[in-house]
Structure 1
Amino acid sequence: MQIQFYKYQGTGNDFVMIDNRSNFFPKDNIKLIEHLCDRRFGIGADGLILLENDVDTDFRMVYYNSDGNQSSMCGNGGRCLVAFAKKLHVIQNQTTFIATDGLHHATISEDGIVSLQMIDVSTVKIASDYVFLNTGSPHHVQLVEDLERYDIKTMGAKIRYSDLYGTAGSNVNFVEQIADHSFALRTYERGVEDETLSCGTGATAAAIAMNTLGKTTSNAIELQVQGGKLEVSFDKTEGKFTNVFLKGPAEFVFKGEIDIITN
């Protein structure tokens, strides 16, 4: 079987995109999805995303990590899917779509900047040396010094697999402050089991965590990730974060076809 795919990236977080509105894709084939995401034997990506029909919205987002398993919300993936939907003429410059964590609104500018509304956040756990919250995916956030030299993979895996988060695990974010409303961020992603160049739900979590800790009073925060820059904005009322938006570039990389074995 031959399938057509598209490759997109958002600040270095890259995805295989497939138009599955005809429901042809074997969604339960974990080995196939893992193969397509493999950087040596497949296409290569941090994850695979299916664009599907939805009765009540413009489309449905179905997201898989590079290990082949369906996962929770992916912020950069959602932004890239908006750009993909526009390329397919499913939408124009604004959209509403459904994902695993619920309804999302988004806009896309002519230069490819996508602003994606994330879920509201009402619970933020503050511990002595970290913050934990869910922004569509679970995120551990902690401040570190000398982030550039920090061993993200080793320390991230240690926390992700610790008793703190059990078998489900958590994404792990390491943050260093640059200026009043600007932070550097590096993320270890579960499902990829390594550092990625960017994580959208992680950037959202880091921004909210830094505001919660009082490291910034701004409600518009810049996150410098390994693959570029993201912006997170929100409204905050009595500790609840609403109108949360993740903003950044979403870029088409290439289009191709690949032969797959589905049995």
Structure 2
Amino acid sequence: MQLIPFVKYTSCGNSFVIVDETERNFLSEDEMSRFAFQATNISFGVGCDNLLVIQRCNESTLQSIDQSRPYWIQPPQAKKAEFLFRMFEPSGEEALCCGNGLMCIASHLLHQHGISCASIMTEIPLATPKVIKIGADHGLSGSWVNLGHPRLTPPELVNYEYAGQIAPAIHQMQELLVKFRADDLKAFTTETALRIRASLVFTGEPHLVIFPDSGFSVPELAEHIFAGSAHGAMADRRESFGSWLIEHIGNYMNNRMRHIFPAGINVNFARRTDPAVIENRCYERGINRETLACGTGALAVVYIYSRMQNLNISEIDVLPHRCRWHDDQAKIRIKQTSDGWQIISNPVMLFDALYRLPAKNNGQAQVLNKGQDIVVPENEKLEV
């Protein structure tokens, strides 16, 4: 049995298991993908959205990745960053980036290592990973991540034959056609198809941003996306239908539109409710469902809104609509600075523990509290 120390964090409803390999390696590249299932599985493991692994950015770590995963033509330069950000989906596939995950890493670095600001390499599976800045403090401002400037979505993630450029980092998708079965919408409209206008941008993850109030060809459907503020049976019905509609559109774009989005696409639904607030709902490609909140999606929404409306937004709050069903104070602050766009929030550390990782296809996994008495052979003892 192999013992894996981890901490569990949450940020705006997203939860993460973090394995800290800054001082010692606990998982091989193969074990990272395998452990992702135990970390994310609530029945046979811990239960979270994603597994995060933080490592020192050095030659040996980069060579280990390069030998195991066919990401790069040449490994990136180790001197460009202090740390590496790794994120794994429940399937074991390595993801590109995660705003809320990075904010949790920033909080962990502060509380575990006393590091208030660091450079970290993310977007590891792309041919050219990106180095960004993250940080945290002990005050009310919480954790922050500077994701740099939004940019064109890498060509391996989108077929540009179907997109028309309208700005340096944005592509407009004018006619995305989503179809429905004959009876799917009959309580709301006689239409059986929905044409959607959306904008595509890359903020560490590929994000499609839709403003339903102006981007839906069937206006009566738009009002259901952000339903839920009222009470009673009708409000519950609208809220349930809105969630189903988001799932249907997200699934349709990720399953039926692979010719446009070969690696899948995050789909954001947004509206501006007042000058200082934008609401957002996000369907995530990595988990194939709506998530409670998305940091890179929040930035994508603000960036596209500011460019489409020709606004100079210096700071604005994004309200993660789905998360606020459970926490009405949840928000992600977006701030534009001279060297890029920041996302800011307040992650919470839930607990730390040890995980007994069984041998491959053998044995029973087990989560142990740090204070629980365990017997560990001398050659396996960990300093945690």
- 2:255 corresponds in structure 1 to 161
Give the TM-score taking structure 1 as reference length.
0.90
CA contact (8 A) 1:180 1:216 kept: no
Higher relative contact order (CA closer than 8 Å, sequence separation 6+): 1
Corresponding residue SS for 1:130 = strand
- 2:170 corresponds in structure 1 to 124
Q: CA deviation at 1:235?
A: 5.2
Unaligned runs of 5+ in 1: 237-241
CA contact (8 A) 1:211 1:219 kept: no
Distance 1:117 1:95 in 2: 11
1:187 aligns with 2:282: yes
Q: CA deviation at 1:77?
A: 0.6
Distance 1:71 1:153 in 2: 21
RMSD: 2.0
Distance 1:6 1:235 in 2: 31
Deviations 1:164-205 (A, max 9, x none): 633311111111221123111111111111111111111111
Return the structure number with greater strand share.
1
Distance 1:53 1:201 in 2: 23
Give structure 1 regions of 4+ aligned residues with deviation exceeding 6 angstroms.
none
2:6 is aligned with what amino acid?
Answer: F
Q: CA deviation at 1:35?
A: 2.4
1:93 aligns with 2:161: no
Distance 1:181 1:213 in 2: 17
Q: CA deviation at 1:215?
A: 8.0
Q: CA deviation at 1:143?
A: 1.1
Q: CA deviation at 1:216?
A: 5.2
Corresponding residue SS for 2:29 = coil
- 2:340 corresponds in structure 1 to 243
Unaligned runs of 5+ in 2: 59-78, 124-128, 152-168, 175-196, 213-221, 228-238, 324-329, 361-384
Q: CA deviation at 1:119?
A: 2.8
Q: CA deviation at 1:127?
A: 2.9
Which protein shows a greater Rg?
Answer: 2
CA contact (8 A) 1:26 1:262 kept: no
CA contact (8 A) 2:313 2:336 kept: no
Distance 2:260 2:350 in 1: 35
Corresponding residue SS for 2:297 = helix
Distance 1:160 1:216 in 2: 31
Return the structure number with greater helix share.
2
Distance 1:28 1:220 in 2: 41
Deviations 1:19-59 (A, max 9, x none): 12322213224343122211222111111111111243332
Deviations 1:95-149 (A, max 9, x none): 2222224111122121461111003124111233111000011001101233233
